[in-house]
Structure 1
Amino acid sequence: MSGWMGGWMGGWMDGWMVRWMGGWKDGWMGGWMDEWLDGWMDGWLDGWLDGYVVGWMGGWMDGWMDVWLDGWVVGWMDGWVDGWLDGWLDGWVVGWMDGWLDG
């Protein structure tokens, strides 16, 4: 992974808030997530991560995300997401998201 990624996510989550994420991969990069999500969440991501990721997400999510910004992303979501995520992350395109996600 290389490049800059910045953004934030926040909202109610059956426990605690997601932390800030941002920095330079080829220098400083901070932020990670590893928790259950139960409730709602909104936020945005804008930057480069071995390509680019630009997106906005908002709505209900029930599941988990396990994310390291310098290598891998694993997640499961079941709920309503209204927004979009455009770009590719280490080879794969996520594309538009609008409606229910299950899987």
Structure 2
Amino acid sequence: MNEWMDGWMDGWIDGWMDGWMDGWMDGWMDGTMDGWMDGWMDGWMDGWMDGWMDGWMDGWMDGWMDGWMDGWMD
């Protein structure tokens, strides 16, 4: 797997887990099943989107810069 994919996956997983945990905790603290489900779903979606975007950008930039530098040095 190339660096672009590595960065994308890392960011996606990190963001997803963070968002999932945040949403789960927020919803759980609300004390109602509705709040728990809403918080969990919101957190999951937010984390997924954030992680996807962050990882995509990070991995893309890293891979692009590395490839550019390698080509330039050669």
Which of the pair is proportionally richer in strand?
A: 1
TM category, shorter: under 0.3
TM-score by length of 1: 0.15
Task: Flag the structure with larger Rg.
Answer: 2
Which of the pair is proportionally richer in helix?
A: 2
